[in-house]
Structures are given as structure tokens and as C-alpha cells.
Amino acid sequence: MLRRWRRRRAVRYLDVLALAVKARGWRCVKLYGREFPKPMLWVYASGVAEDVGVVVGVWAAPGGVWAFHDVRKGRSGYLSPCGDANAAAEQIDLLLKHRMFPSTW
């Protein structure tokens, strides 16, 4: 279980990311409850393609660097540093558009 202060920091970063991806038209579900070992944010398409989505988590690297990552890919699913939620939202936007319309890429 994450220490309480790490959990709060992760939730703050994910809340900012939720605002950034909502501004791009994506929907979010905050998975912050105690039943989840780590706070996560499920970002998905609304409407016809609700099965297209990505689960984003926060990873704290040694040295105090925090980063957003695709939970399914683990640390190799790096999206951006937590200080730049707009860059992470852009990466998520591109990732989801690619999953929804793979023939256009």
C-alpha cells in the first residue's frame, strides 16, 4: 500500500490530468478508492467506442521524479512527467485516436 502522502500526491496529479483529458473530449473514471492498491485514472471514449480506453497511473521514480504511465504497459508505458498534464493528455489523445482509427495512422 502506498504511504498516505504518496497516495495524496498521486491523486492530485491524476485530478489535474483528468481535467486536461476532459478538455479534449474524453471521459474519465477516477479509481482512487481503498480497494485499488494505487490510484488510477481510466480514460475512455464516449459513445460508440466505449471499449477503447487507457488506464493511467502515477509512478514515483527514485530521486523524486513523478511520471504518468499506461498501467497495462507498466513503466515502459511512460507518457510524460507529472508536471506537464497537457503533454500527458496529448499523448493519451493520440493513443486513443490510434486505437479507435488504426487504419488512419
105 pLDDT more than 70: no
Query: How confident is the model over 35-48, as pLDDT tens digits?
Result: 999 999 999 987 66
Strand partners, 53: 44
Cell digits of residue 92? 493519451
Instruction: Return the H-helix or E-strand segment holding 102.
Output: none
- What is the average pLDDT across 8-23? 97
- Report pLDDT digits (tens) over 27-75: 999 999 889 999 999 999 876 656 789 999 999 877 788 999 999 998 7
% of the chain beyond a pLDDT of 70: 93
| Cα–Cα distance, 17 to 62 (Å, whole number) | 22
DSSP-assigned letter for residue 40:
E
Read off the pLDDT band of 76 (50, 70, 90): confident
Mean pLDDT across the chain, nearest whole number?
89
Q: Kindly state the DSSP code that residue 35 receives in the 8-state scheme.
A: T
> DSSP H helical segments within 1-105, as ranges?
4-23, 85-100
CB 64 within 8 A of CB 81: no
The ranges assigned to domains in the chain are: 1-100
Query: Is 1 a residue whose pLDDT tops 80?
Result: no
- Please report the DSSP string for 48-88 in residue order: GGTT-EEEEEEEEETTTEEEEEEGGGGGGGEEEETT-HHHH
For residue 69, list its beta bridge partners: 57, 78
